[in-house]
Amino acid sequence: MTYIAARPAQCLKRSIRELDFHFYRWPGQDERPVLLLHGWGDTGETFQFLADHLPERTLLAFDARGFGRTQWSAGGYWFPDYLADLDAIVDWLSPGQPLDLVGHSMGGNVALMYAGIRPQRIRRVVSLEGFGLSRTMPDQAPTQYRQWLDQIAAGTQFAIYDSFAHFAGILGRRNPRTPPAHLDFIARSWGRERADGRIELRADPRHKRVNPTLYQRDQAEACWKEITAPVLLVAGDQSEIARQMAADLTMQHLATLFRDVRIETLGGAGHMMHHEQPAAVAELLRRACR
């Protein structure tokens, strides 16, 4: 099945911090931009489903470094680079006034941290299934470093698929709530055809390396406490991540981390809610980013 976009994206390239970034823009009646940040392994292009249900807002998304059609980084991938890339993009996109920032998964975690680091730059922030990671303990460090060194020595690769249909079928088994036409669109956004006709991912396989340094949730939460914008967190009621993070998502706990926060649970949605239920996600954004 082929997905027909009701509101096709305008595509553009821009150099950001010495890499060529690929952007997608959906002009709307309200010219104030909503900036969309995708999750790990995703692309900005798959916000197309959301854009089709939010015609009144101007939306801008981009492929993060080493994902989709954005240039790969020769130096590898480090979380602070996502923040620095975002800072440069906000400077270009909205230098004179704060903007609305929406992120999914990894993009949601980037959005929340950035909103605390640069609170004057953000008007509203929405995180879809991005709630930070689980806490770590210092004694995990030796294993983490060993795994990172082993991956550097052995190399990392993504799977290769026989066809777009094969790839879409794999995606459908992972995310059974996603409509078939959406799966085909995602497969063609995430993948590209090789000379032998098989499908490889556009993403740099070095993204598969673990981070050698342990995640510090206390540091992330310290950034969240600096956010001045209203915050909306959205969890899927079918999401394994939301279940794992349940203790950190109570309003009693969130009230200690954010000045102005609310949480919504989207019924019938898993982690990839913007692929599965874009109309419902669009309605939440419509109310959050007035």
DSSP symbols for 229-253: S-EEEEEETT-HHHHHTGGG-SHHH
- pLDDT, residue 163, reads 97
For residues 192-221, average pLDDT? 97
42/272 Cα distance (integer angstroms): 10
Q: Which of 260, 275, 270 lies closest to 126, judged by CA?
A: 260
Is the Cα torsion angle 93, 95, 97, 99 positive or negative in sign? positive
Pull the structure tokens for residue 102. Answer: 């929406």
Q: Hey, what are 210's tokens?
A: 């673990």
State yes or no: pLDDT of 1 exceeds 80. Answer: no
Report the DSSP pairing between strands 10-16 and 19-26. Answer: antiparallel
C-beta neighbour count of 253 within 10 angstroms: 11
Mean predicted confidence (pLDDT) in 160-178:
97
pLDDT at 31: 87
pLDDT band at residue 197 using 50, 70 and 90 as cut-offs: very high
Burial (Cβ within 10 Å: 0-12, 13-18, ≥19) of residue 225: exposed
pLDDT in tens, 83-97: 999 999 999 999 989
Can you tell me the mean pLDDT for 100-115? 98
Please give the average per-residue pLDDT across 9-19, as a whole number: 97
- Token pair belonging to 281: 């996600």
- Give the bridge partners for 19, in sequence order: 16
**pLDDT tens digit sequence for 234-255:** 999 999 999 999 999 999 999 9
The span from the CA of 60 to the CA of 46, in Å, is 12
Closest by alpha carbon to 207, among 15, 42, 90, 50? 42
Structure tokens at 196: 């032998």
Give pTM, 2 decimals: 0.96
- pLDDT (tens digit, 9 = 90+) per residue, 27-60? 999 988 999 999 999 999 999 999 999 999 999 9
d(CA 272, CA 103): 12
Q: Is pLDDT above 80 for 20? A: yes
Measured between alpha carbons, how far is 259 from 143 in angstroms, rounded to an integer? 37
CATH numbers and ranges of domains, the chain: 1-135+216-290 (3.40.50.1820)
Sort 58 into a burial class: Cβ within 10 Å, 0-12 / 13-18 / 19+: middle
Residue 19 has pLDDT above 90, yes or no: yes
Predicted pLDDT at 75: 87
